[in-house]
Amino acid sequence: MKKLWEKLWQKPGLKLLLGIPLGGFLFLAVGAAGWGAFNASLHYSSTNEFCFGCHIGMDTVVEEYQESIHYKNVHGVVATCADCHVPEPFFEKMEVKITSGIKDIYKKYWVKEINLENFEQEHRLRLAEHVWKDMQEQKSATCQKCHDQSKMDLAAQPGRASRAHDPVKWEENGESCVDCHYGIAHNRPTKF
């Protein structure tokens, strides 16, 4: 025990004096590069180009979206795929990216169950209902990133819309945007 204690308190050699700062610098550099790569991949996987990479040719959602008010409008404001389909809070975002990413990659490259021939009849309704359920559970938080209900001029809206957008009514009935606004960025399922 005495030898160990003496070794701990002896003057460190040159290797140790150089190794600790160099090791710390190397650790910091690798960490910064890793963080940069993580942020770059997070950003890229939230772009329309990334989403289109799988959806073009597999289904018709890209073409529908490109003709929707969320992509083409008089103001030139574009809501991206991630704006609507990926939550904003970090941990929720990571959960969606990891679980959906793994599932989607598996289904596209190994199962190959969805294609242009069977999308409309066999898959659209199930997939749309899944997205609507997610949006209802989060109370359409992704919609409200852009559409702030507190800033809506209810008096300028037609009667039915004005009544439907009343925040008190919304809260009382537990409603969300997709309870009325489904089929806005993508066509409604034909079986709906």
Residue (of 101, 64, 69) closest to 82 by Cα position: 101
Q: Is 130 annotated as a binding residue?
A: no
Q: Is 85 annotated as a binding residue?
A: yes
Q: Is 75 annotated as a binding residue?
A: no
**Is residue 59 classed as helix, strand or coil in its secondary structure?**
strand
Q: Is 104 annotated as a binding residue?
A: yes
CB atoms within 10 A of CB 69: 12
Q: Is 146 annotated as a binding residue?
A: yes
Helices (H), 45-109: 48-55, 61-66, 81-85, 90-106
Q: Is 148 annotated as a binding residue?
A: no
Q: Is 166 annotated as a binding residue?
A: no
Q: Is 153 annotated as a binding residue?
A: no
Q: Is 54 annotated as a binding residue?
A: yes
Residue (of 18, 80, 17) closest to 52 by Cα position: 80
Q: Is 58 annotated as a binding residue?
A: yes
Q: Is 165 annotated as a binding residue?
A: no
Annotated binding site for a menaquinol: 104
Annotated binding site: 51, 54, 58, 81, 84-85, 104, 143, 146-147, 177, 180-181, 186
Annotated binding site for heme: 51, 54, 58, 81, 84-85, 104, 143, 146-147, 177, 180-181, 186
